[in-house]
Amino acid sequence: MNFNMASFLQKILFQLDPERSHHVAMRGLQLAYRSGLTGCFIKPVSQPLSVMGLTFSNRVGLAAGLDKNADYVDALAALGFGFIEVGTITPKPQEGNPLPRLFRLIEQKAIINRMGFNNKGIEHAVRKLETIRYRGVLGVNIGKNKDTPLDHAIDDYLIGFRALWKFASYITINISSPNTPGLRDLQHGDLLASLLGALKQEQKTIAAKEKKYVPLVVKISPDLSAEELQNLAAVLLQQQIDGVIATNTTLNRDGVKQLPYAGESGGLSGTPLEKRSTEVIQQLCSLLQDKIPVIASGGVMDKQAGTDKLNAGAKLLQVYTGFIYSGVKIISDLGGL
């Protein structure tokens, strides 16, 4: 698809409410895929690399959040992503937070969302994942239901892991969304150690019984202090976690306070997050000493941002907001890095 056409389509979609626009775009993508049109304008980048014992066709993946329910895996994969991550998926279906809950800050190429893990639950995701044709690297992002108390959070994550491991190349443990009350507390102290310890034990049990080792990846917040990041890294190393995604969205509003919607609650993504996310990657890579690979997410908006995150030590890149604002072009721009 040429740039002018992509720009024209974006302008039309941006006239719609952001959440409605999302649904329209995804259904259009599905239609294009089923009609065989995707291959007419997509030339996938082949730049294979190995991370976490998995072979990626290129280093740019789709972050969780765009396809929460695994409804569009094949259509998205046809765009040339090196890997796809679906979710966040919770054990029970939940509606998420009240509308409106998604806001564009176009001047800064940013988004604020307070979706609240809206998804159709594990049973729906399993049905969808049983039918996909995609055989590339697939990440499955799991979380806890909003009404599950923190002291029972482990149960929700174990339910997710046990139900979804067979479809996953890796499982992402989402403990960093700012839109589920109390969730970020799971990034600290005994709560973190207990959760990761239980999941690592389940990973070992499945590996021994099913002969499939499913890497465990932890998605972290950009709002951690240096001391909190140091403590978190120590637990990740102690528990022998397989990968880290840095970062989720931020509650910080630096650089956007003067813009419409800046006062809305929720996580901020896009260009304003780029610098902080890169700082976290650099600190984290220094703490982990190449023992755990880092996947860059948050502010991966263009080739320069991707290069900066790789220079900071990341091995892979994930896009979400960058994909919303730049379209499929960002895949080819980043895929060859």
Residue range 1-43, pLDDT digits in tens: 444 455 667 777 777 778 888 888 889 889 988 988 776 667 7
Whether domain 45-335 has CATH 3.20.20.70: the reply is: yes
How much is the pLDDT for 3?
A: 46
The pTM assigned to this predicted structure is 0.94
How much is the pLDDT for 6?
A: 55
Choose, from 177, 221, 269, 297, the residue flagged as catalytic.
Answer: 177
How much is the pLDDT for 46?
A: 87
How much is the pLDDT for 41?
A: 66
Q: Where are the domains of the chain?
A: 45-335
Verify whether residue 177 is a known catalytic residue: yes
How much is the pLDDT for 260?
A: 87
Digit-coded pLDDT (tens) for 278-299: 999 999 999 999 999 999 999 9
Q: What type of residue is 200?
A: K
How much is the pLDDT for 2?
A: 46
- SS3 string, the chain, reads CCHHHHHHHHHHHCCCCHHHHHHHHHHHHHHHHHCCCHHHHCCCCCCCEEECCEEECCCEEECCCCCCCCCCHHHHHCCCCCEEEEEEECCCCECCCCCCCEEEEHHHCEEEECCCCCECHHHHHHHHHCCCCCCCEEEEEECCCCCCCHHHHHHHHHHHHHHHHHHCCEEEEECCCCCCCCHHHHHCHHHHHHHHHHHHHHHHHHHHHHCCCCCEEEEECCCCCHHHHHHHHHHHHHCCCCEEEECCCECCCCCCCCCCCCCCCCEEEEHHHHHHHHHHHHHHHHHHCCCCCEEECCCCCCHHHHHHHHHCCCCEEEECHHHHHHCCHHHHHHHCC
**Positions in the chain whose pLDDT score sits under 70:** 1-8, 39-41
